[in-house]
Structure 1
Amino acid sequence: MPFSLALLVLPLCLQKDSREVIAGSSRSYLLKTVEKNPQLLVGFADRASDLLPFALEAFGVLMERGCFVVSQEGRLKTVPDRVRKSVTGTDESVSCQRVARIVGKEFARIADRVTVYATFGIRP
């Protein structure tokens, strides 16, 4: 996943309303989900900006722990056996993890940063 797209995962997963919409339409394409649910876009740019310091701090900790590497193209790649694949925790954290997985797969499927940023109405 490109680094710039990874910064959009937290604002989509941590807000309960967004999380519920995405989880409820996991069989649909993310772009269609956003089109059918414009409420996902309300305040998204502010949420993304507000969560940026936390995302960068998390990336720093994960990098320090050797959980992922950054490729020459700027993509984040997990290191095998360093990231737990099981989803555990409270109901809310499990929900966040599941939606993060959905969002990650959708970003990989879309494979175009410009499309994702334009869909969410923000600039990189």
Structure 2
Amino acid sequence: MTTVPPTGRIHAPAIDTGWAERAPATDAMYNPALIACLLSAAAGTHLKRASSGLPVALSFIVTPMALHRDTRQALTATTVRTHLRTWAERNPMVRVGFPERAQDLVPVVRQGLRFALRHHILGLNGDMLLPQGRLPHRIPEHPELEDILRTSRLLGRWLAVNDPAAVFALLGVTP
């Protein structure tokens, strides 16, 4: 069975992204290009700190943390020197609902990863994401976008010094 969108082009159901059902504000936040950019920012700082790529599994942690406004605000007052466990203990309300947010964003993260790999924003080496330097030279100025990317870079550095299994356990999610 195929669907015919308003453009008249026929799409197979397997590649139908469901964007028609989303609200415009949701489209902006869950845009695959934005997800690709935030993951590239996280992978870049992770690479500098750990000399290895960002484990693919951690992209499912970085994205819900970077897109969630309350989490970004809690991370603003944090430095890389603060241990993840300490931060989580100081900010228990951020952890509330995180497993559900992470689960809800799985399809969005997958779309963002596919976009990033297809457009050479990220490369894949085994199960590690590596930035490819293919980001736009000028990212539109917007305070929330800048905040998302700044948080992504912080998370990349921060997660470089934490065991992925411990991160998942601390946040109450399973890979």
Q: One fold, TM greater than 0.5?
A: yes
Deviates most, 51-60 or 21-30: 21-30
Give a deviation string over 1:28-70, Cα, whole Å, max 9, x none: 2333111211111100001001111111101111111111211
Cα offset, 1:15, TM superposition: 1.2
Residue in structure 1 matching 2:76, options 23, 47, 53? 23
Q: TM-score, normalised by structure 1?
A: 0.88
Q: 2:97 aligns with which of 32, 35, 43?
A: 43
Question: In the aligned structure 2, how far is the partner of 1:96 from the partner of 1:33?
Answer: 18
Supply the AA of the counterpart residue of 2:65.
L
Over the residues paired in the alignment, what is the CA RMSD in angstroms?
1.8
Report what 1:59 is aligned to. 113
Which of the pair has more CA radius of gyration? 2
- 1:114 aligns to what? 165
AA matched with 2:134: R
* AA in 2 matched with 1:114: A
Matches of 2:139 and 2:102 in 1, distance apart? 24
After superposition, give the CA deviation of every residue in 1:58-108 in whole Å (9 maximum; x if it has no partner): 111111111121112x010111x3135877531111111111111111111
Distance between the aligned counterparts of 1:4 and 1:15, measured in 2? 18
Give the residue type in structure 2 aligned to 1:34.
A
- Bigger relative contact order (CA 8 A; separation at least 6): 1
3-state SS of paired residue (1:77): strand
2:108 is paired with a residue whose SS is helix
2:151 aligned residue: 99
Instruction: Supply the AA of the counterpart residue of 1:31.
Output: R
Instruction: Work out the CA distance in 1 between the residues paired with 2:155 and 2:85.
Output: 11
**1:2 is matched with which residue: 50, 55, 78?**
55
Does residue 1:83 correspond to 2:142, yes or no?
A: no
Indicate how the Cα distance of structure 1 residues 85 and 108 shifts in structure 2: closer, same or farther if over 3 A, else same: farther
Contact in 2 for aligned 1:87/1:97 (Cα 8 Å): no
Letter in 2 for 1:2: P
Q: Retained in 2: the 8 A contact 1:44–1:120?
A: yes
SS in 2 for 1:26: coil
State percent identity of aligned pairs: 26
Q: TM-score, normalised by structure 2?
A: 0.64
